[in-house]
Chain A
Amino acid sequence: MRPMHQCRVLDLGIITAGAATSAVLADLGAEVIKIESPSYQDPFRKWSGETFAGEHPDLPPFFRMTNRGKLNAGIDLKHPHGREVFLRLVAKSDIVVENFSRGVLERLGLDYQTLKAVNPDIILASISSQGEDGPDRPYVSFGSTLEAMAGLAAITGYAGGPPVVSGIELNFPDQVVAIFASAMITTAWFAKENGAGGAHLDMSQRELTSFLCGEAFLTRAPLRQGNAQDGIPLQECFRSNDGVWVAVTVYERNMRSLRKLTGGVTAAEIGAWIASHDGARIVSALEGEGVAAAAVADGTDVLAQWDVSWSRALKRGADGDIVKGFLFEDDSAPMTVGRPAVLLGADTRDVLIRVGGYSNAEIDALVTLGAVASESNNEVPAARDPLTTSGQEK
């Protein structure tokens, strides 16, 4: 039995920040129901990587990776009857996760007070760019916007150079927030079990990014120092004679053995030694002397280390697809990634009957009204050409 096995989550999360948060809750055993409006699908269905021949165009790879282990109910939240359906589900659920632009939930008539009125114990997790209040509340952002606004870009960069952001391939703040937000939601669930009641969790990605630079706020330290780091005599990447970048961290305690190995301890001396040897030998020789060293891996190199140096971060789903894996492992409670991601409305009927208490006839009427969409409304094309879409994300 997993830690959140009695917990039901309504997942309004989109793209990465919200959807990945709910995926972590699914790992912990929660029943996660992704709610998508037929009029506003998760944008990740359209711009999250390239789909190949034989893959459904509404299930591109990044979407599949982030939405495994979830049920899916198609509910149009802008439709008055769709809103009613959603609130009926809220009454029977424990957690709602959302990362819409600020103001959207209010415009839908689904703010915290409204949810609380139908379920006083509901936990609403609001993940946003800037938080629920403050002058920058309406700011729209992607992860790298927040790196700039939160202080991380200012402390990232080559010495004497401009600030640097992690960029579109990483969007660092969008990744870490899923760990933080799922941790806070889990804490709220823990506190609720202790009698704390429901809660509205207001989480700003900008503040999280600043928090993770915490010590930089305490001193007026130098901003950009390349790969150097306070308290570490030497830290840098050097290129080997076979073109491999080798990352090296040298502490005082390493100096003696390093001098013996390389003939010196300055950056120039170590750089020259590395430039005259091949990458694999360098790493092994440095590690043999107790120096932290590693070849700089690209994505392909990292995949080659699966089940060697790492094993949890990615998993294969029931269909063999690679999906996001786990952040930790508890020997007492093994996790699974659950079933593969599904199309919009794949479980509408099941969810509305089992959770909402609707009859099949009522659901048919809601479908006719356009308030909900069930899987029967989704035409699955027999074959599609590959679609090329961008990999941008929030």
Chain B
Amino acid sequence: MTPGRKPLSGVTLVETTATDAPEALVHAAGLCGRMAADLGARVIRIEDPGSKPSSADLFLHTGKERLSTQPRNRAALIADFAKEADALIVDPASFAAMPEQSCSAIAVILAMSRDAPERGSEFTVEARSGLLDLVGDPTREPLRLGGHQIGYSGGLAAYLGMIAALLRRKAGLPGGPVHVDLLDVAVWLNWKTLSTASRTGRAPTRAGAAAEWSVVACSDGYVALVYRVQEWEALKTATNDVRLNDERFQTAAGRRLHRGDLNTILADIFSSKTRSEIRAMALSKKLPLGPVWTPDELRDNPHMIARNFLYLVETGEAPVPMPTLPVKWNKRTFAPAIANSAIPIALDPAE
């Protein structure tokens, strides 16, 4: 790649979702556009006026040309931009509202599910996919994964589908429309549970504190106690605690049977250790233990700093640490493009 050029230089996308589209589709389309913008595409986001700024908004729409227009003008505006665009990232309603002749660009249509394309939330998709059932305590309500994991997973899939269709078009073949359903993506992520359910008739479910991998308190926070059968001996050596020599814990089946007792002992062992000590132990003994860092702490994390993962971005107020696209391309990091990202440009005349 010549200096200054990026992998998607020369590609133009239009990203838009209808006023009443489920928020999950806004997040999915937003992430797809954000990735493309970081990789050099021109991304034009058409949105409603007066949308309330949020941190998700800033994360998703950095590097895009944001244009706001009243809903009644939206279809005509999209059609206009679509003439020059390579791809459109849209929800079903926006796609349906477009005049047919404007569809020479590849349409990537994000929907919630096959049976309810425009209904539901990220939370209900997580429930329907079986993912919600897997997380949390069995005696309490199922627990969603933090953030917008369902919407963003859909955004990753939309991006993949878009590039695949662009490749076909480059080869002189028709591409799209591309269909991405968030429920299908979430079910795809949950394939192991479905495999087990289909073969045994029993589906794994959340085990809470009795899970094979638990999260326990350490002296300055928490640690995820992650280890496999193969790491058991290394864990015993690293912790050097005689209680782990108990006969009951010396086989995988025994540990499974006495999981509650084992986890209580491990919690006690790790309660006096700091996350820094646990990290050092994990590195020296090749153990997959996970000290729990908060996003706030990760801003100052030496590894994240060494990897240039966060870029300070001016937003008009205080600069904020913006996560970069997690790929180094021949050692090059794609700094988030920030042009026009903070405030949408209003296209409608004053009313």
List the interface of chain A (C-beta within 8 A of B): 1-4, 24, 28, 47, 49-50, 52, 61-62, 65, 130-136, 138-142, 144-158, 162-170, 172, 175-176, 179-180, 182-184, 186-191, 193-194, 196-197, 199-204, 207-208, 210-221, 223-224, 226-227, 229-232, 235-239, 245, 247-249, 287, 292-303, 305, 308-314, 322, 324-333, 390-393
Contact = CB atoms under 8 A, between A and B. Distances in A.
A249 B123 contact: yes
Given A155-B147, A158-B136, 20 more contacts: A1-B168, A3-B171, A136-B283, A144-B213, A144-B224, A151-B298, A152-B149, A156-B146, A164-B143, A179-B157, A199-B1, A214-B60, A218-B58, A248-B123, A249-B124, A298-B197, A299-B194, A300-B197, A302-B130, A325-B184
Given A299-B204, A328-B157, A216 B194 contact: no
A314 B184 CA distance: 9
A169 B221 CA distance: 25
Contact of B303 (A135, A170, A299): A135
Given A169-B192, A237-B141, A308-B115, A154 B294 contact: yes
B307 A297 contact: no
24 contacts: A49-B199, A135-B306, A151-B294, A169-B193, A189-B167, A191-B1, A196-B5, A200-B330, A207-B326, A214-B322, A214-B323, A218-B59, A218-B321, A224-B146, A236-B141, A238-B141, A245-B142, A296-B132, A299-B203, A302-B187, A309-B115, A309-B116, A330-B161, A330-B179
Interface stretch (B42-50, B90-98, B284-292): B284-292
B290 A148 contact: yes
Interface in B19-44: 22-23, 35, 39
A160 B173 CA distance: 55
Contacts of B228: 142, 390, 392
B123 A328 contact: no
A21 B201 CA distance: 28
Given A149-B293, A167-B207, A297 B130 contact: yes
A328 B158 contact: yes
Contacts of A144: 213, 224, 226, 290
Closest 7 CB pairs of A and B: A148-B290, A299-B203, A155-B146, A299-B197, A207-B326, A328-B161, A249-B121
A233 to B, nearest CB: 12
Contacts, number: 477
A172 B173 CA distance: 35
A172 to B, nearest CB: 7
B197 to A, nearest CB: 3
Nearest to A182: B160
B59 A214 contact: yes
A313 to B, nearest CB: 4
B295 A153 contact: no
Contacts of A140: 282, 286-288
Interface in B172-225: 173-181, 183-185, 187-207, 211-213, 215-217, 222-224
Given A169-B204, A217-B298, A249-B124, A164 B215 contact: yes
| B contact residues, range | 35 or more
Given A199-B330, A299-B203, A154 B322 contact: no
Contact of A162 (B133, B200, B201, B215): B215
A172 B290 CA distance: 14
Contacts of B248: none
A215 B259 CA distance: 36
B233 to A, nearest CB: 15
Contacts of A202: 327-329, 331
Nearest to B133: A298
Contacts of B147: 152, 155, 212-216
B285 to A, nearest CB: 9
Given A144-B226, A216-B295, A302 B156 contact: no
A247 B127 contact: yes
A142 B288 contact: yes
B152 interface: yes
Nearest to B306: A134
B295 A201 contact: no
Contacts of A322: 194-195, 198
Given A179-B157, A211-B323, A215-B55, A186 B167 contact: yes
A148 B326 contact: no
Given A144-B224, A162-B222, A313-B188, A333 B170 contact: no
B135 interface: yes
Contacts of A297: 127-130, 133
A139 B286 CA distance: 7
Contact of A217 (B178, B226, B299, B330): B299
A140 B163 CA distance: 32
Nearest to A125: B327
Contact of A169 (B52, B134, B322, B327): B134
Nearest to B199: A61
Contacts of B126: 247
